[in-house]
Amino acid sequence: MAMYESEHTRFMREWLAQHPQEVGEQKKGRALWWDKPQDLAETERLAQARVPVKPYYYDTNH
């Protein structure tokens, strides 16, 4: 049984095969927007400083 592949996926696969330099551009773009270095100490500090939110924000009786 063949798996479905959309026209867009097929187009991108073929286009990237014809333009291999774009794979490097893709990786640079991903690194710019998504792959950020993580600072575990800063993440822990932010988690400890978090203030709990009330179940119902506008309830003044709690």
Q: Which of 22, 24, 2 is nearest to 14 (CA)?
A: 22
Domain locations in the chain? 7-49
Is residue 16 a contact partner of residue 22, using CB atoms and an 8 Å limit? yes
- Could you give the residue ranges of the DSSP H alpha helices within the chain? 7-18, 21-33, 40-48
pLDDT (tens digit, 0 to 9) for every residue of the chain, 62 residues total?
Answer: 678 999 999 999 999 999 999 999 999 988 888 888 889 999 999 999 999 887 887 877 76
User: What CA–CA distance (Å, rounded) separates 42 from 48?
Assistant: 10
pTM over 0.75: no
To 10 degrees, what angle do helices 7-18 and 21-33 make?
A: 110
